[in-house]
Chains A and B, each alone.
Chain A
């Protein structure tokens, strides 16, 4: 059974601290996506990682993909309150089927 596991599921961190969210998956794929969801809102695309070793950065967020380890990471640098949200990784299985992780709920405390 294909699994996409995120950890931690919940993360409470102080402003200014660094942390990493992990996304492990159980099948080969070289297409991995990160989304952000604010409470009661839709999903917003953050990063598209399309090959082994891909690294993307936007502001305080950096995502990477290691297809050999079947692992993607979302690194948060010097967190600010505005980053509080739920973060999802999603794997593209084949051409059309996306499998989402369960999400990581991040709360950044002032």
Chain B
């Protein structure tokens, strides 16, 4: 199993550009989530999904969109990038609704100039 994969690993955008961060998992996990990690602030939840077609907002959803058309994929879209979105983005997944830990992808480092 590849686990949780993310692409790209690095990305530089100009202000106002849009892009999609890709996330996929091959563990048949129902729950998937997106976080951003900024220095001194830990990880903050952006959006999450509990299954195909079901998404909800986390702590910092503004400026980001998500969709979940399959169990495996959970892309994160930046509609109009802003410098404040410069961060490291992590995707994670976990099985079902139990107390399981999350499994994290390798991360995408995004810089918006």
Contact = CB atoms under 8 A, between A and B. Distances in A.
Interface in B83-113: 90, 92, 97, 99-107
A42 B102 CA distance: 12
Contacts, number: 54
**Residue from the set A4, A43, A50 with the largest chain B CB neighbour count within 10 Å:** A43
B105 A48 contact: no
Contacts of A35: 101, 104
B106 A98 contact: no
A33 B101 contact: yes
B91 to A, nearest CB: 10
A84 B101 CA distance: 22
A98 B33 contact: yes
B74 interface: no
B50 A96 contact: yes
A47 to B, nearest CB: 8
A48 B95 CA distance: 14
A73 to B, nearest CB: 18
Contacts of A103: 42
A100 B43 contact: yes
Contacts of B50: 96
A101 B42 CA distance: 6
Contacts of B92: 43
Interface of B: 31, 33, 35, 40-45, 48, 50, 56, 58-59, 90, 92, 97, 99-107
5 contacts: A4-B42, A43-B43, A45-B102, A97-B58, A103-B42
Interface of A: 4, 31, 33, 35, 41-45, 48, 50, 88, 90, 92, 95-103
